[in-house]
């Protein structure tokens, strides 16, 4: 084996991604807090302080990112904090986000700001949230207020995080609030999310003409469990279409193609400046009469793949390359807005990271227009309905003391960021199990 380095382009963005509800703590005026209090989180867990960013520990974590070689960071605004009531803005909260952005700028970290990351104010849920088109003017006013307030500190915006996951988890599977299992509701929500993004894209460019605006789309690599089974093939095609195609395609041609009918939203056509891509895993899909609540779909992983702590994620790096290749059809610059694995003892994360960064390099060398990579996540945080049972952080969090402890993967990622590449020496040191695969 020779010593070698896989190099990335100059000015490539390297960072980590976070979301407000998962890191700020004590966010009590939104739908997810109510969901927690209703006992909807695994083991009846609570976010409580989360990572205590609202108490000021964002400074400590931004220092960790900076010292770790990151040159960018993605975080989100909590709508319920800045607009606690329909007729009231919290200027102190907005000032705090302004301070966070200044903190990123001062540390040399390019900010990417997500405007909607799964959470909404309670007063929005009272009008029916995304099922009701009345949400749209409220969302537009929120976008206008925040972009005008923060435009001096960033021009890189994500309007909505994973609209496909929001729709499926909230209105089909019922894992997220409001916990519905209703295909008609899911169709309405998808259309309203498309309308909201289109309006936000237009507004942001009116306020900040040099802005770059996109979504963060979660791509699922989907394979039929039994390739010989027509029902498995059909089920996998349906899941693939619903998860991967409906929303991003609507932003190309202005048509939301829901099974059995189309919704025309012409103002959505051409409303992306970059394609934000989230990828975690590949899934096998099979048909099962025993799962009516899951629309007769059984999800599983390749039995040969390494699995994360809760078996939610399979280490399938080829699926990452598939995701990046698929996203090139939208003919936009691509930013990897999330990628990572839950692994508390860090025994798998370094191999997962090495293999996925290698696939990222392959994609760049195929001239895919990839401009950056954001690892999920910086510090262990509150993982939605899975609570504290999943640990995605480069840094471990002690939720009792708020102490941070560096995992080996944090040093590995720091080397990647600092050298703008992946070397055989790095892999030999941090992920020797895959050295022969990546550097034969």
Q: List pLDDT tens digits, range 350-388.
A: 999 999 999 999 999 999 999 999 999 999 999 999 999
Q: List pLDDT tens digits, range 206-219.
A: 999 999 999 999 99
CA pair distance 18, 32, nearest whole angstrom: 16
Q: List pLDDT tens digits, range 395-411.
A: 999 999 999 999 999 99
Q: What is the mean pLDDT of residues 229-248?
A: 93
- Is the pLDDT reported for residue 316 higher than 90? yes
CA pair distance 140, 388, nearest whole angstrom: 33
Residue 252 burial (C-beta neighbours within 10 Å; 0-12, 13-18, 19+)? middle
pLDDT at 294: 76
Half-sphere exposure of 406 (CA within 13 A, CB side): 13
Domains and CATH numbers, the chain: 11-421 (3.20.20.80)
**Per-residue confidence band for 291, with pLDDT thresholds at 50, 70 and 90:** confident
Contact partners, residue 429, CB within 8 Å, separation at least 6: 412
Cis-peptide, bond into residue 29, ω within 30° of zero: no
To the nearest whole percent, how much of the chain has pLDDT over 90?
94
Structure tokens at 66: 């900076």
Cβ-based neighbour number of residue 208 at 10 Å: 18
CA pair distance 235, 384, nearest whole angstrom: 27
pLDDT at 288: 87
Angle 183-207/163-171 helices, nearest 10 degrees?
Answer: 150
Looking at per-residue confidence, does 329 or 295 come out higher?
A: 329
Structure tokens at 240: 């693939």
Q: List pLDDT tens digits, range 134-189.
A: 999 999 999 999 999 999 999 999 999 999 999 999 999 999 999 999 999 999 99
Is 208 in contact with 152 (CB distance < 8 Å)?
no
Structure tokens at 209: 């003409």
Encode 218-249: b = buried (16+ Cβ within 10 Å), e = exposed: bbbbbbbbeeeeeebbebbebbbebbbebbbb
Q: What is the mean pLDDT of residues 243-247?
A: 97
CA angle 319, 320, 325 (to 5 degrees): 95
The mean-pLDDT minimum among 165-174, 198-207, 228-237, 239-248 falls in 228-237
CA pair distance 318, 437, nearest whole angstrom: 13
CA angle 303, 217, 376 (to 5 degrees): 65
- Is the pLDDT reported for residue 195 higher than 80? yes
- Is the pLDDT reported for residue 24 higher than 80? yes
**Per-residue confidence band for 90, with pLDDT thresholds at 50, 70 and 90:** very high
pLDDT at 30: 98
Is 180 in contact with 170 (CB distance < 8 Å)?
yes
- Is the pLDDT reported for residue 83 higher than 90? yes
pLDDT at 21: 98
**Per-residue confidence band for 394, with pLDDT thresholds at 50, 70 and 90:** very high
**H/E element, 351:** helix 349-365
- Is the pLDDT reported for residue 1 higher than 70? no
pLDDT at 169: 97
């Amino acid at each position: 084996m020779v010593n070698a380095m896989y190099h990335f382009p100059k000015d490539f963005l390297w960072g980590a991604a976070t979301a407000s509800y998962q890191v700020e703590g004590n966010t009590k005026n939104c739908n997810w807090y109510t969901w927690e209090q209703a006992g909807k989180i695994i083991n009846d867990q609570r976010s409580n302080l989360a990572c205590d960013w609202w108490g000021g520990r964002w400074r400590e974590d931004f220092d960790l990112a900076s010292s770790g070689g990151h040159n960018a960071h993605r975080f989100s605004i909590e709508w319920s904090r800045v607009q606690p009531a329909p007729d009231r803005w919290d200027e102190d909260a907005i000032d705090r986000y302004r301070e966070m952005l200044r903190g990123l700028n001062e540390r040399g970290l390019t900010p990417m700001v997500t405007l909607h990351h799964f959470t909404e104010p309670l007063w929005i849920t009272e009008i029916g949230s995304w099922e009701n088109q009345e949400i749209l003017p409220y969302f537009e006013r929120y976008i206008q207020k925040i972009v005008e307030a923060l435009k001096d500190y960033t021009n890189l915006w994500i309007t909505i995080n994973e609209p496909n996951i929001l729709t499926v988890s909230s209105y089909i599977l019922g894992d997220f609030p409001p916990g519905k299992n209703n295909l008609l509701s899911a169709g309405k929500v998808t259309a309203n999310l498309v309308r909201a993004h289109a309006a936000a894209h237009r507004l942001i460019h009116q306020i900040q003409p040099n802005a770059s605006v996109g979504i963060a789309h979660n791509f699922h690599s989907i394979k039929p469990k039994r390739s010989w089974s027509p029902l498995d093939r059909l089920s996998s095609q349906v899941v693939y279409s619903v998860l991967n195609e409906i929303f991003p395609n609507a932003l190309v041609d202005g048509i939301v193609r829901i099974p059995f009918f189309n919704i025309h939203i012409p103002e959505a056509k051409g409303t992306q400046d970059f394609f934000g891509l989230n990828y975690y895993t590949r899934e096998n899909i099979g048909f099962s009469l025993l799962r009516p609540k899951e629309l007769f779909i059984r999800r599983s992983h390749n039995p040969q793949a390494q699995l994360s702590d809760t078996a939610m994620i399979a280490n399938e790096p080829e699926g990452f390359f598939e995701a990046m290749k698929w996203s090139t059809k939208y003919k936009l610059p691509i930013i990897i807005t999330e990628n990572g694995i839950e692994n508390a003892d860090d025994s798998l994360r370094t191999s997962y990271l090495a293999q996925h960064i290698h696939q990222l390099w392959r994609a760049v060398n195929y001239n895919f227009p990839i401009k950056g990579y954001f690892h999920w996540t910086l510090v262990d945080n509150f993982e939605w309905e899975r609570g504290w049972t999943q640990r995605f952080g480069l840094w471990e969090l002690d939720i009792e003391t708020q102490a941070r402890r560096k995992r080996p993967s944090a040093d590995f990622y720091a080397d990647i960021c600092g050298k703008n590449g992946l070397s055989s020496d790095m892999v030999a040191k941090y992920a020797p199990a895959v050295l022969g695969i990546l550097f034969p």
